[in-house]
Amino acid sequence: MSELLGIRGLRTTFPTRHGLVRAVDGVDLDVRPGECLGVVGESGSGKSVTFLSVLGLVRPPGRVEAEAITFLGRNLLSLAPTEIRAIRGRDIAVTMQDALTALNPAFTVETQIVETIEAHEPGIAKGEARARAIEMLRLVGIPDAERRLAAYPHQFSGGMRQRVMVAIALACRPKLLIADEPTTALDVTIQSQVLDLIDDMRSELGMSVVLITHDLGIVAERCDRVAVMYAGQVVETGPTAEVVASPIHPYTQGLLRSMPSLAHLDAPLVPIDGTVPDPTRLSDGCRFLPRCPHAVEACARPIALHAVSPDRAARCVLVEVAQ
Amino acid sequence: MSPLRLAERLLQLIPVLLGISVIVFAMMALTPGDPVQIMLGDSLADQAQRDSLRRDMGLDLPVVERFFRFLGNALTGNFGLSFFHRRPVMDVILERLPATIELTLVAMLIAIAVAVPLGVIAAVKRNSLLDRIATVGSMLGVSMPGFWFGILLILLFAVNLHILPVSGRIGFGYEVKMATGFVLIDTLMAGRLDSFLDALRHMLLPAVTLGLAMSALLMRVTRTSMLEALSQDYVTFAEAKGLSRLRVVGRHALKNALIPTVTVAAIETGSLLGGNMIIETVFGWPGLGRLVVEAIFSRNYPLVQAAVLIYATTYVLLNFLADLLYTVLNPKVRL
């Protein structure tokens, strides 16, 4: 088994007044050791919920079902709450979109790093945990780390706060970091700094990274492989270079066409017509059907994710036909 | 908060307190009826004696001058003589004040001890049976009149079950020398555990009655702010760090949820202090509340005046304290 994390048939649903929202609907994904997997999609496509589901962080009344979620060969679904808690933060860490809301405003940075270390290494000496906290802050490039330990989150700038969150996430040297929109809340100039930091940490700690983003540009630049999500499903996966060079799924093609390119500044941007489907009224067929320029009759029936090559797959009738 | 900022905040209290004293003074000055007439009653004093008393009390002076005299005296704690006791008003009040403060604090402790855990559990187990019971209970607690609930408690625990005393602050056989005026502390200081327990038994019913309405309100506030905190990103992030549920709920969510709770509690303590006249009367509690009720019935104006001023000042100071606590709990706010 080569993958670090394997997700099979993940379904996450939320009952609402307007009906059942199928936020994640049959997602299969693999994260390999040491790789950076980009997960791209619009807001509401199920990117974040997929990984919250993996960690058991979906709140009731949300429901998570899956054929299997394996991490290092263990099925996370069969673990007791204390066992999954031991994995969170230690083996699989998370950073969230906005550090301002993800860090607790009522506690100092020291408390928030040290408590993570203490949760996973019970009995660690207070001084040692503190030293580790300082080391982590230095590692993520926070100047004057020792003094800044006593500061509250609101006393940091946006970029520094994001670094603090990364420091907390990496405090226990996880094997997998799930970075959920790590740059969305940041200025463009600081975005690349934070992404560089995550890259550096990845090679330094030898961990895998799942980079959740709606920015295909970031994925193209930073990720080994990419998974494109649309309306709760993975519609295309493959090595980033290949997917960007020759997208198979019409949605991926549309995404790439709607992206500005520095090389062709005068090329017009082509938006994808139509809107994302209502999550309470998803059809069983292809969810991109109403917006797809290549739609045929067969698109209305359920479509599976088809392997195109050993490393690539797409959820599209066109692939089926080609085979 | 810096000492300078603290001083500034304290200075801001002065106009408020001044305003209160104007109102209190006006209340007395505008009350119909002649204080001299009230003091002398139907006695056989002649007009000369009445005029002399009027002069002694400064009632012949212009109203503005009388106000400044009143203010000056009030600042030194001199509120004149209590008509009824024939002693300085302040002495009489200070004698009764500790009983009221003690009752209020114990009631507050009971309220917090009940409200915060219940509010937290109700929020964590939202829409569960327990949450519903707590919600209905708090509605009952808020809407049930204190005097009625107090009488019910007396009927049950004192009259029918005979396990708690009907009224008073301490039994006759248990009285100890007062040092602080707080009977729970004085009995302990005197090393009299039996007296302490007796005082505690006397304290229980009035404190529970007083604390009930407060705990109902505090529970609602705790539940609401806890629900708000639990839905925040920092709670998800804390869980993603692998912290125990207890730490996530009890530290990360609760510390943020307590900010409104503590503020409401501090402000409500002020209204408890003022609002326990009825409870003290029902339970024969020898505190300021009962003293004021008696003073009102006997038209003991100087005492009422002093008590109102004390209540209002306490209320203002407690609000100030609430602001202070707010900054302690919420690092984002610096006064």
**What is the mean pLDDT of the segment spanning B210-233?**
91
Q: Which residues of A touch B259 (CB under 8 A)?
A: 106
Tell me the three-class secondary structure of A221-238, residue by residue: HHCCEEEEEECCEEEEEE
A134 pLDDT above the threshold of 70:
yes
Model confidence over A57-107: pLDDT tens digits?
998 889 999 999 999 989 998 899 899 999 999 999 999 988 899 999 999
pLDDT of residue A298: 85
* pTM greater than 0.80: yes
Cis peptide before A61 (omega within 30 of 0): yes
**B256/A90 touch (CB, cutoff 8 Å), yes or no:** no
Question: B131 CA to chain A: closest CA distance, Å?
Answer: 16
Query: Using an 8 Å Cβ cutoff, are A282 and A265 in contact?
Result: no
**What is the mean pLDDT of the segment spanning A14-31?**
91
Residue B83 vs residue A6, higher pLDDT: A6
Residue B58 vs residue B118, higher pLDDT: B118
ipTM reported for the complex, 2 dp: 0.90
Best A76, A83, A104 residue to mutate vs chain B (most B CBs within 10 Å): A104
Model confidence over B198-209: pLDDT tens digits?
888 889 999 999
Residue B47 vs residue A13, higher pLDDT: A13
A124-157 in b/e burial notation, b at 16+ Cβ within 10 A?
A: eeeeebbebbbebbebbbbeebeebbebbbeebe
Model confidence over B239-292: pLDDT tens digits?
999 999 999 999 999 999 988 888 888 888 887 877 788 889 999 899 999 999
Question: B300 CA to chain A: closest CA distance, Å?
Answer: 50
Query: Using an 8 Å Cβ cutoff, are A175 and A208 in contact?
Result: yes
A50 pLDDT above the threshold of 90:
yes
B335 pLDDT above the threshold of 60:
no
Of A88, A98, A120, the CB nearest to B240: A88
CA distance A251 to A272: 8
Q: Which residues of A touch B238 (CB under 8 A)?
A: 104
**B252/A98 touch (CB, cutoff 8 Å), yes or no:** no
B225 has a chain A CB within 8 A of its CB: no
A&B contacts, CB < 8 Å: 80
Model confidence over A141-156: pLDDT tens digits?
899 999 999 999 999 9
**A89/B252 touch (CB, cutoff 8 Å), yes or no:** no
A7 pLDDT above the threshold of 90:
yes
Interface of B with A in 301-330 (CB under 8 A): 329-330
CA distance B85 to B74: 19
A286 pLDDT above the threshold of 80:
yes
Question: A195 CA to chain B: closest CA distance, Å?
Answer: 20
CA distance A86 to A121: 10
CA distance A211 to A195: 10
pLDDT of residue B74: 84
Mean pLDDT for chain A overall: 89
Percent above pLDDT 90 for chain B:
25
Question: B141 CA to chain A: closest CA distance, Å?
Answer: 30
Of B238, B242, B332, the CB nearest to A120: B242
Residue B304 vs residue B332, higher pLDDT: B304
Percent above pLDDT 90 for chain A:
54
Predicted confidence band at A263 (pLDDT cuts at 50, 70, 90)?
low
Of B234, B236, B242, the CB nearest to A89: B242
**A116/B242 touch (CB, cutoff 8 Å), yes or no:** yes
